[in-house]
Amino acid sequence: MEKEDALNFVELNASLNIVFNGGYMSEKCPVCSKKLYVAKTKDTKTGNVKNVLCCSFCFNEFPYTEEEKKQEMCNNNRVLRFCKVRKEAKAPIRAHKEDAGADLFFCPADNKSVQIAPKHSEILPTGIKVEIPVGYMLEIKNKSGVASKKHLLVGACVCDSFYSGEIFVNLNNVGYDLQTIAPGEKIAQAVLVPIEYCDFEEIQEQELYKDMESTNKRGEGCLGSTGNS
């Protein structure tokens, strides 16, 4: 099989009719846990070429198309274990199966509503604890309805793995009206996010970005330096 692009494709094994892309995916092979690469594979009978995720170690192939990946995701959802710290607490729930986030609900210990004054914030309990796996974080994100209608935005939003306490939501009222949150109301959504762990190495400023292709498009421009249009 011919190389389609010398920069992006490298022929790995012609007998397998597989051409590997230069980049790898964040997913790992479920068989051998090695990295999965984007590849093109050719059906020897029909001649059709399609994209797949392929393991460079054991050569197993997995679905790549968006529709196939969505279906694979729905069939193989990771299960997060949680417990209720109060019986009134509601379980996190997705409105739709393919939603990125699961809704979180207000669950105060005194079962009373809370008011958030303009330009003020409150820490709201959810009544649940979640077992967050190593290599992931649970990110607390805005609910579009809560943000657009009540002008309540999430502040502190990262829950690390091994955090064993109750999940709290920091809501900030950036609007001009007093807002009331009743027990059981949706207040935010939680998204499970994979983490790339890294160490930090201090270097001299002139060495920074030295190995990158170019920095002249952005440079030190910040805070609106690219304009409004």
Nearest to 140 by CA among 156, 152, 163: 156
pTM of the model: 0.63
Q: What is the mean pLDDT of residues 129-156?
A: 93
What is the bridge-based pairing of β-strands 82-84 and 61-62?
unpaired
Q: Could you give the CA distance from residue 26 to residue 35 in angstroms, rounded to a whole number?
A: 7
Query: What are the residues facing 36 on neighbouring strands?
Result: 55
Q: What is the pLDDT of residue 46?
A: 77
Cα atoms in the Cβ-side hemisphere of radius 13 Å centred on 216: 2
Q: Which amino acid is at 188?
A: A
Domains of the chain: 9-75 (no CATH), 82-194 (2.70.40.10)
92-120 pLDDT, tens per residue?
A: 998 887 888 999 999 999 999 999 999 99
Q: What is the pLDDT of residue 214?
A: 54
26-78 pLDDT, tens per residue?
A: 567 777 777 776 666 677 777 777 777 777 677 676 766 665 555 555 555 67
Structure confidence at residue 5 as a pLDDT band (50, 70, 90): very low
Q: Which amino acid is at 65?
A: T
